[in-house]
Homo-oligomer: A and B are copies of this chain.
Amino acid sequence: MVNLMSGDSFHPPVRTLMGPGPSDMNPRVLAAMGRPIIGHLDPAFVGMMDQMKVLLQYAFQTENELTLPVSAPGSAGMETCFVNLVEPGDKVVVCINGVFGQRMKENVERCGATPVVVEDDWGQPVDAQKLDSTLAAHPDARLVAFVHAETSTGACSDVKTLTQVAHAHDCLVIVDSVTGLGGSELRVDDWGVDAIYSGTQKCLSCTPGLSPVSFGPRAVERIQSRKHKVQSWFLDLNLIMGYWGSGGGKRAYHHTAPINALYALHEALVLLHEEGLENAWARHRHHHEALKAGLEAMGLALLVEEPHRLPQLNAVKVPEGVDEAAVRTRLLQRYGLEIGAGLGPLAGRIWRIGLMGFACNAKNVRLCLHALESVLTEMGAPVERGAALPAAERIYGVTA
């Protein structure tokens, strides 16, 4: 029975978020979100939206006019791409190497289209050769969908090459970069990406509930020449563009934007711009090196092979005989530290340790290595004691 006494405000416990997202938010972003609300058609708000678009274009490295945050979480950003670009009867090649590729396939089916699957093992990147031969066998395919940064495994796929392969077969691409944006190299224009969606609660360290998307000229053309109405009214870009002003001219009411969350995203993007995108990518790489050094010194192994590892999402193999859920519970209860579990076939076999955005820092690397070593030792797991922190400190240049 839930107690509903007056005054039962919710005060969240203090946590350190090193799971697959959300990540800890910078106090500046939290403060932005708590600022008083103004109207979604207020001239001051519209000015903020204009600036937001430029900041998002910077984060995506694109000049795409149709670049905006969808007013709902990453899953809705995914659906925005599919319902606008896929028509009933289309054939869509979907590359699956984890949970989010599977979800893309679900989206294709629910659009009344036919998915053709290119499958790779979980933990592997998408194989460009396989994509190429699949496309050769299906010359009527119109779209290719794949995940840049697989949040369920920590594998990074080669967006540039996969996009080239798709284009060579006259297909547009839809790219999932929910966990990529702000954490790993991503160049929408240079790489020719046609449509991309992301999330705000990963390497942007903003509140969840928004999904930045960007559409290139060929994608916009395809949307504008659709034969069928978009099946979702809420996610119909023809209507959303009217509010975000991508057609120029007066902004028309479509839905009420999540105003305070947009304040927060604006501030998170200002922070990214202050740091510099390439500096942010390098920071993720640097702390990943320290974490990896510590984990390996402890005797733990990463799931993904070296060249394909995402620095911001580290899938760590659970040692034989260890109850992975009990480890996570103890980390949370004693250290306030959240790390993630495995999903699907990797449930029980990996932990997912995030180093995302504001949460990607040396203090968190140190806390995580110390806490994990303590808990694993306590539970009798075969870990090397006292080696993890010194190994990480060597990466940080601390050799004392």
Contacts and interface: CB of A to CB of B under 8 A. Distances in A.
Report whether over half of chain A's contact residues are helix, strand or loop; otherwise say mixed: loop
Contact of A12 (B45, B58, B74, B208): B45
A13 B44 contact: yes
Interface stretch (A101-109, A180-188, A282-290, A376-384): A101-109
Contacts of A209: 71-72, 209, 257-261
A231 B231 contact: yes
A21 B41 CA distance: 11
Contacts of A110: 229-233
B33 A260 contact: yes
A10 B266 CA distance: 7
Nearest to A75: B255
A17 interface: yes
Number of copies: 2
Interface residues of A, number: 86
A363 interface: no
Interface in A211-260: 229-234, 253-260
A330 interface: no
Interface in A1-54: 2-4, 6-15, 17, 19, 21-22, 24-25, 28, 30-40, 42-45, 48, 50-51, 53-54
Given A7-B270, A17-B37, A110-B229, A201 B22 contact: no
14 contacts: A2-B54, A4-B58, A15-B36, A17-B39, A30-B34, A31-B34, A40-B208, A73-B256, A74-B255, A74-B256, A75-B234, A76-B255, A207-B258, A208-B256
Closest A-B pairs by Cβ, 3 of them: A209-B258, A34-B34, A72-B72
